Chain A
Amino acid sequence: MPSLRDLRRRIKGVQNMRKITKAMELVAAARMRRAQERVLAARPYSDEIASIMTELMRRSPQYEHPFLKVSEVQKRLIILVTADRGLAGALNSNNTRLALSDAAKTSIPVSYVTIGRRGRDVLRRLHRDLIADQSMLGERPTMGDVLPAARVAMEQFERGEVQQIDIVYARFISVGRQQTVRQRVIPVVPPEDAKAVSADFEYEPDPKDVLDALLPRYVEAQVYRAVLENAASEQAARMIAMRNASDNASEFIEDLTLTANKVRQASITTELMEIVSGAAALEG
């Protein structure tokens, strides 16, 4: 039996831990709401770009922008999006694992661009071919923060270093559900669900130039969106993880308290016994 003093000390310790996890849960909940709003705010832009692109590709299907051309893949690039911090459940390791297992599926060499410290650190430890990193974006990443990573990836493609670019991130489905997904970035797959604006557009200067200006932005918007979704997922995952931790701490405190009470009871009983038997001995 542990001593009562030790038990009380442990209860205090676990209580303090619960205070911290509880606070982290509340902070994550507030940040998640804001992150969700940012995902929603980014939607009109990416929807609009997608619909213009669909329209353009319908209009000039014969034009082959390099970003649209599918060629034999000799080397791939994966953009791995993770959080900068841990304590977010399995989110970071899920993302990293998906990227690595996807890369291991074929013998095609893969280089990586990371957004987020967690993924970067793992890839670095494994000595993977990491060509760029854009970490510590903070809580409110702007398009400008994400651009360098997207540009590096596009440059690699334009220079013919890689023939395929994918992005791995955690899609935000609901507070309780985030799904790690891999999405093709280049060659650009025209979005299926985008509704094309059906109008006979005049193009200035011409459709080809508009498409040239549009495609890089479409790619950037996709990367930006992945980062925003991942940020919302991160906060949701952290909130749930911290809630579980707090619940576990509560349970633990209950168990410890029960044991502590038993120990106390036992020592009182022993003391009483001693007093009673002492008194009995005197009387006798």
Chain B
Amino acid sequence: MAKLQVELVTPEGRVFSEEADFVLAPGVEGDLGVLPQHIALLTPLRTGVVTIRNDDAEHVLAVSGGFLEVLPDKVTILADAAERAEDIDEARAEEARKRAQELLAQNVDSEEAVMALERATLRLQVAEIRRRRHGHSPPSQ
């Protein structure tokens, strides 16, 4: 079967560029699954998890907002920020989440704190998915 060329770019650089069979992305109107020969599509993305599957390999990435551009043979994800599951430091993400929660608990009602919490939660989610799939134990620290 034909493959998709998948590119994930952020303002800081290209994060991912590989062939794939399937892409799952969090569109603003709901999650979107893309297979090769999909109709050309353009949509903004929510903060969430992008899953890219190629044969037996699977890549999980956390993205915070952006765009998804689909062409029949190519998928481009323009993310505001993206991180591969492997690169996520769980201990740090957990810490960041606690900090954000505390801030919110103290009634610091800032948009930033809400976003920080969203980000940290997402990163933990992605790390969790990866651990379940690969049967890795959390990094001992």
Contacts and interface: CB of A to CB of B under 8 A. Distances in A.
Interface stretch (A24-32, A43-51, A162-170, A175-183): A43-51
Contacts of B81: 143-144
A199 B40 CA distance: 7
A110 interface: no
Contact of B71 (A143, A199, A203, A205): A199
B14 A204 contact: no
Contacts of A108: none
Given A52-B69, A210-B67, A213-B67, A45 B11 contact: yes
Interface of B: 7, 9-14, 27-29, 39-44, 67, 69, 71, 76, 78, 80-81
Contacts of A220: 11
A83 to B, nearest CB: 20
A51 to B, nearest CB: 9
A52 B42 contact: yes
A52 B67 contact: yes
A45 B69 CA distance: 12
A42 B41 contact: no
A54 to B, nearest CB: 13
B13 A41 contact: yes
A203 B80 contact: no
A203 B40 CA distance: 9
A224 interface: yes
A204 B78 contact: no
Given A143-B80, A143-B81, A210-B67, A201 B42 contact: yes
Interface residues of A, number: 29
Nearest to A47: B9
Nearest to B38: A202
Contacts of A44: 7, 9, 13-14
Contact of B13 (A42, A49, A200): A42
A270 to B, nearest CB: 70
Given A48-B76, A49-B78, A52-B42, 5 more contacts: A42-B11, A143-B10, A197-B69, A205-B28, A221-B11
A142 interface: yes
A143 B76 contact: no
A123 interface: no
Contacts of A221: 11
Interface of A: 38, 41-42, 44-46, 48-49, 52, 56, 142-144, 197, 199-205, 209-210, 213-214, 217, 220-221, 224
- Chain B: interface secondary structure? strand
Given A49-B78, A210-B67, A204 B11 contact: no
- Counting from the closest, the 3 A-B pairs by CB-CB distance are A41-B13, A204-B43, A199-B40
Most buried by A among B12, B43, B71: B12
Most buried by A among B11, B42, B43: B11
B11 A203 contact: no
B96 to A, nearest CB: 14
A224 B29 contact: no
A199 B81 CA distance: 26
B40 A200 contact: yes
Contacts of B43: 203-205, 210
A116 to B, nearest CB: 19
Contacts of A210: 42-44, 67
A224 B11 contact: yes
A204 B25 CA distance: 13
B12 A202 contact: no
B42 A45 contact: no
Contact of B78 (A45, A201, A205): A45
A48 B11 contact: no
Contact of B39 (A52, A142, A202): A202
Nearest to B7: A44
A48 B29 contact: no
Contacts of B29: 204-205
Given A197-B71, A205-B28, A213-B67, A41 B12 contact: yes
